[in-house]
Structure 1
Amino acid sequence: MYLLLFLFGGLAGVTTALFGFGGGFVVVPLLYTLLTVNGVEGPIGLVAMQVAVATSTGVMIVAASLATLRHHRARTLEWRPLWPLVGYIALGAILGATAAMSLHGEWVRWAFILYLAATILDCAFRPGFLARPSRPARTMSKGATAGAGVAIGSVAAFLGVGGSVMTVPLMRRRGAGMAQATAMANPLSLPMALVGTATYVLLAGDRSATLGAWYAGYVDLRAFLVLVVGSWLGIKLVSPLIGRIPDRLHANLYLVLLVIVLVVMLVV
């Protein structure tokens, strides 16, 4: 099990560095599958999706930080458009994590699936994602920035996937290349990951005794440690590719990865 976690942690690092996924699209399906297919019963089996999501947000803190540093060094990261969104994303993360803990795990799973499907259809058929817009969009108003930030933080923390599923299409349609859009997804995932993880740990603190000694709230600490080491290695290995993938190919690969994750979540 832990070898598999290590290998998929490496894959999570790759997707974090190159696609801004924050690792959630790899970690959540993997942990959910391991906790359900392997026949885990009792308290853990009942909250398998919450454990997967909470552990994913914890891994995201480390992975997104490392990927942000790599993008900064590669000069693919533009900081100016990010700052107005940070506080609103953190607020949304509290709302999303709290909502996820109040629902049955199967509801969270189907929310994950439906959101993925909607994102895939939007990216594939609405103009502005696969082909870079010819004109940059106008700067968002304060109201639009607040709404977008809260929505990104809520959805990302609720599903444990980082903000890339919203921030990459958003930045892409505002004229950013895929290298810049995926780079910006990583620092924007950090406030969600920090606040979301704290929420899953603090508000579910009473669950630690029920789930076991290696749990902090809903966070599986052993899985977290193995995934973090794998993510670090994955990010280090693909760092030379940052900013060097052709834009159209980068966008198509992003979409293909979303489809793969959707299929996995439908069949488990």
Structure 2
Amino acid sequence: MDLTSLTSNGQLFEVIGLGLALIGSGLVAGFLAGMFGIGGGAVLVPVLYQFLTVLGVDEGVRMHVSVATSLGIIIPTSIRSFLAHKKRGAADLELLKSWLIPLPLGVVAASLVAAYVSGDGLKGIFAVIAFVLGLRMLLNKEHWKLGNDIPGSPIRPLCGAGIGFFSTLMGIGGGVMNNTFMTLYGRPIHQAVATSSGTGLMISIPGTIGLIWAGWGAPELPPFSAGYVNLLGVALIIPVTTFAAPFGVKVAHSLPRRKMEVFFGIFLMVVAVRFILSLNGF
């Protein structure tokens, strides 16, 4: 779709508005990366999906490109967020070391699945997990626990692999899932947040590489794409997210998080319902 056609049918202003929305989502994503220890993918994926919809990107690859591009954007955000938390000594480095193998294995498995699953299938996976995570954040109670400390094998590596697998298919850095995992086993929320920024690194880097491979040569990809990763989208949003991440870190260590949890939980559930209603057959 060229500029002339956009102007003639009145879509140019809509595209400009979505471009501004992308920048706004980058600010929110970067802030959330620091505050919640996440890469902001749960915000970026639905916004990117709508942006690609207006641009007329084929529906068969639209969700794949959204997920993969989100993971690419998460890389620098996670780096900056993790270094800021690590400087404060809050991250559980022992847990991250124990996940050096199982978590990337889950990422690799997800990349293989993404190469074959349909756009609707990927959208459905995102919707179901987002709804469950949103519900958990809304109903979260501090006294909910599965144990007093994080277990060893086989639960720990299996959970790490699961976090890597589902986070990659959703285009997120695993922060929401890891926060849930750690707090259910008695770890303080600030430590969970700091550690989750580390899982973002372990997911986003191999996940981006895997989805470049999975989408290499795929038909109907938008311009400036490397596999499923759209380099133009990455270049547009990365500066904004990296700028905003440290502000989220400051808030995470100074203010109660419950109101933000409720807001983010509602956002996840609204996105989940919209994705489910957009599936073929609904």
- 1:230 and 2:237 aligned: no
Preserved CA contact (<8 Å) 1:22 1:60: yes
Q: Give the 3-state SS of the residue equivalent to 2:85 in structure 1.
A: helix
Query: What CA deviation, in whole Å up to 9, does each residue of 1:176-216 have, x standing for no partner?
Result: 22222111111012111111111111232213x75254111
2:173 equivalent among 156, 162, 181: 162
CA distance in 1 between counterparts of 2:243 and 2:99 reads: 29
- Comparing 195-204 and 129-138, the one that deviates more: 129-138
TM-score (ref. length: structure 1): 0.88
1:90 equivalent among 96, 104, 110: 104
Distance 1:225 1:236, change over 3 A: same
- 1:26 and 2:43 aligned: yes
2:164 equivalent among 153, 157, 160: 153
Match of 1:101 in 2: 115
Structure 1 residue 33: Cα displacement: 1.2
Q: Give the 3-state SS of the residue equivalent to 2:154 in structure 1.
A: helix
2:66 equivalent among 28, 49, 52: 52
Gaps of 5+ in 1: none
1:71-150 equivalences in 2 (<5 Å): 71-125=85-139, 129-132=140-143, 137-150=148-161
Structure 1 residue 223: Cα displacement: 0.7
Preserved CA contact (<8 Å) 1:93 1:192: yes
Preserved CA contact (<8 Å) 2:150 2:156: no
Q: State the one-letter code of the partner of 1:181.
A: A
Gaps of 5+ in 2: 1-17, 276-282
RMSD of aligned Cα (Å): 2.2
1:241 equivalent among 231, 239, 251: 251
Larger gyration radius, structure 1 or structure 2: 2
Match of 2:280 in 1: none
Query: What CA deviation, in whole Å up to 9, does each residue of 1:91-131 have, x standing for no partner?
Result: 00011122123111112112111112222334555xxx431
Q: Give the 3-state SS of the residue equivalent to 1:176 in structure 2.
A: coil
Match of 1:188 in 2: 199
CA distance in 1 between counterparts of 2:97 and 2:196 reads: 12
Match of 1:217 in 2: 227
CA distance in 2 between counterparts of 1:19 and 1:122 reads: 15
Structure 1 residue 26: Cα displacement: 1.0
Preserved CA contact (<8 Å) 1:8 1:27: yes
Match of 2:26 in 1: 9
1:248-267 equivalences in 2 (<5 Å): 250-267=257-274
- 1:40 and 2:50 aligned: no
Q: State the one-letter code of the partner of 2:51.
A: L
CA distance in 1 between counterparts of 2:157 and 2:249 reads: 32
Structure 1 residue 236: Cα displacement: 3.4
CA distance in 1 between counterparts of 2:25 and 2:198 reads: 22
CA distance in 1 between counterparts of 2:43 and 2:34 reads: 13
TM-score (ref. length: structure 2): 0.83
Percent identity over the alignment is: 23
- 1:64 and 2:78 aligned: yes
Q: State the one-letter code of the partner of 2:191.
A: Q
CA distance in 2 between counterparts of 1:119 and 1:102 reads: 25
Preserved CA contact (<8 Å) 2:38 2:174: yes
CA distance in 2 between counterparts of 1:67 and 1:51 reads: 24
